[in-house]
Amino acid sequence: MRVRPQLRRPPADRRPHVIGRPAPAAPPAPPAVEEADPDGHLQAERRMREAGGPEDTALYRCSCGYAFEADVSTSVACPHCGTGQAW
């Protein structure tokens, strides 16, 4: 009778090292939620109010050649010639 030799695995400390893929990066943290102050306003809104609010002005150019800055409105007239400006 003929006996086949058993296949033996090398001990764990002699196994070749396998280089794997690096671990995936952690997902980005969610954006911070702004806290409301006691009056119920968000911090960004409070900062905007303290700064005086948004500046709603526009640069208008009249057909007379005059350019001027004025508040955004549906009825703006040129201060030079009085012509109404399109909005």
pLDDT, tens digit, 9 for 90 and up, residues 11-64: 655 555 556 667 777 887 776 666 666 666 677 777 877 887 777 888 999 999
Residue 60 counted as domain residue:
yes
Residue 69 counted as domain residue:
yes
Residue 68 counted as domain residue:
yes
Query: Domain count of the chain?
Result: 1
pTM: 0.40
Q: State both tokens at 21.
A: 């893929």
* φ and ψ at residue 32, rounded to 5 degrees: -65, 140
Residue 72 counted as domain residue:
yes
Question: In a 3-state reduction of DSSP, which class is residue 63?
Answer: coil
Q: What's the length of the chain?
A: 87
Tell me which residue range forms the domain holding 79.
56-87
Residue 81 counted as domain residue:
yes
